[in-house]
């Protein structure tokens, strides 16, 4: 997807002077938050009319927004569905190796207790001040450390978001110092789609400490604990409907409809590891199988905040 140069320059003027046109048509902006210069990469659909849904896409640790944009191909899906998508950058001392403050993880973000939740809120406000963003249809997704932050955004500020879709992430765990953190219960239901590989060697599906991380006290909570947390938060009272759209490869669990339109979906990728599921195809009821990006955006499209 490419924005025309003229439209991109107009957008830059609206959103602030510190902006630059990315090679792939995205627009890079900076803003000051909590004494730090923060940046994000924004894509808007061409010829958009009316209010725009906004998807916040949060990269994993040791990555940045531009790399996550290339990896996920979210911008193309967003353009096809008439949505805007933004790729914020975490914090770090080395370009391209950034992280988010998930409290118990990871890197500079956690070590310096960076106010990433405040930054994301300020970024939403900045974008919505100049683009016709539909504040009832703002969503968050992320990979690993970015997925952890999407969980935390939904718990701390459910009034900001209509749904989340964490990939290879966790709702809590213990830090390198052994301090335990779990996201707080939100004050309202939140539709959640979880995507996780059963063979993830870093954020283990069953939870616990990874043998690949040389920090004996670091551990992550498992997927079952995330499901229990969110089904309780959403007031889901019936057992989940479980199916195997691709027997031996892909398993789906759906709880819902729950209170106030809540819905909890889990996609288990049988041979999935700790990477973006670019090669996985998710069955769709009325179309060809979807990519992970298309499946996440289709989930978002079903939900709007009241």
In a domain, 218, yes or no: yes
| Spatial separation of the C-alpha atoms in residues 305 and 249, rounded to whole Å | 33
- Exposed/middle/buried for residue 253 (C-beta within 10 Å: 0-12, 13-18, 19+): middle
User: Residue 177 — very low, low, confident or very high, per pLDDT cuts 50/70/90?
Assistant: confident
Q: Is residue 306 part of a domain?
A: no
More confident residue, 19 or 123: 123
Do the Cβ atoms of 141 and 184 come closer than 8 Å?
Answer: no
pLDDT in tens, 91-115: 999 999 999 999 999 999 999 999 9
Model confidence, pTM: 0.92
Q: What is the 3-state secondary structure (H, E, C) of 260-275?
A: HHCCEEEEEECCCCCC
Give me the pLDDT at residue 3, please.
38
Residues sharing a CB contact under 8 Å with residue 140, sequence separation 6 or more, in sequence order: 55, 56, 58, 120, 149, 150, 153, 154, 161, 164, 165
Paired tokens of 84? 């805007």
Position 200 in a domain: yes
pLDDT of residue 131: 95
Q: Which of 235, 225, 291 is nearest to 263 (CA)?
A: 235
**Structural domain total, the chain:** 1
The CATH number assigned to the domain holding 290 equals: 3.40.50.1820
Q: Does the residue 68 lie in any domain?
A: yes
Say whether pLDDT at 217 is over 90: no
Binned at pLDDT 50, 70 and 90, residue 57 comes out as very high
Q: Which two tokens stand for residue 281?
A: 């195809």
CA dist 107 and 104 (Å) reads 10
pLDDT score, position 286: 78
Q: Residue 177 domain-assigned?
A: yes
What count of residues does the chain have?
306
Whether the Cβ atoms of residue 54 and residue 26 lie closer than 8 Å to each other: no
Domain housing 291: 5-301
Q: Around Cβ 114, how many Cβ atoms within 10 Å?
A: 22
Show the tokens assigned to 204.
Answer: 């283990």
Mean residue pLDDT across the chain: 91
Split at pLDDT 50, 70, 90, the class of 274 is: very high
Question: Residue holding tokens 């609206």?
Answer: 14
Q: Is residue 270 part of a domain?
A: yes
Q: Is residue 133 in a domain?
A: yes
pLDDT of residue 14: 44
Half-sphere exposure of 222 (CA within 13 A, CB side): 9
216, part of any domain: yes
């Amino acid at each position: 997807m490419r924005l025309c140069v003229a439209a991109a320059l107009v957008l830059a003027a609206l959103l602030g002077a510190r902006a630059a046109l990315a090679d792939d048509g995205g627009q890079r902006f900076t803003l000051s938050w909590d004494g730090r210069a923060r940046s994000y990469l924004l894509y808007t659909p061409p010829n958009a009319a009316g209010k725009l849904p906004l998807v916040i896409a949060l990269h994993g640790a040791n990555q940045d927004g531009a790399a996550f944009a290339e990896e996920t191909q979210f911008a193309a899906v967003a353009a096809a569905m008439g949505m805007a998508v933004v790729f914020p950058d975490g914090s770090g001392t080395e370009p391209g190796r950034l992280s988010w403050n998930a409290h118990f993880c990871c890197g500079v973000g956690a070590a310096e207790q960076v106010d990433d939740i405040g930054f994301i809120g300020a970024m939403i406000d900045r974008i919505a001040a100049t683009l016709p963003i539909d504040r009832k249809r703002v969503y968050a997704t992320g990979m690993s450390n970015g997925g952890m932050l999407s969980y935390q955004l939904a718990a701390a500020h459910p009034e900001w978001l209509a749904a989340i879709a964490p990939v290879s992430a966790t709702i809590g765990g213990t830090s390198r110092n052994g301090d335990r953190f779990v996201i707080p219960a939100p004050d309202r239901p939140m539709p959640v789609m979880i995507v996780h590989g059963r063979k993830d060697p870093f954020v283990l599906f069953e939870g616990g400490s990874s043998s690949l991380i040389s920090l004996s006290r670091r551990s992550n909570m498992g997927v079952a604990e995330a499901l229990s947390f969110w089904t309780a938060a959403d007031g889901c009272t019936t057992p989940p409907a479980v199916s195997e759209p691709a027997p031996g490869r892909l398993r789906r669990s759906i709880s819902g409809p729950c209170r106030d339109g809540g819905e909890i979906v889990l996609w288990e990728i049988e041979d999935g590891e700790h990477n973006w599921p670019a090669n996985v195809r998710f069955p769709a009821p009325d179309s060809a199988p979807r990519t992970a990006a298309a499946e996440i955006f289709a989930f978002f499209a079903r939900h709007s905040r009241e």
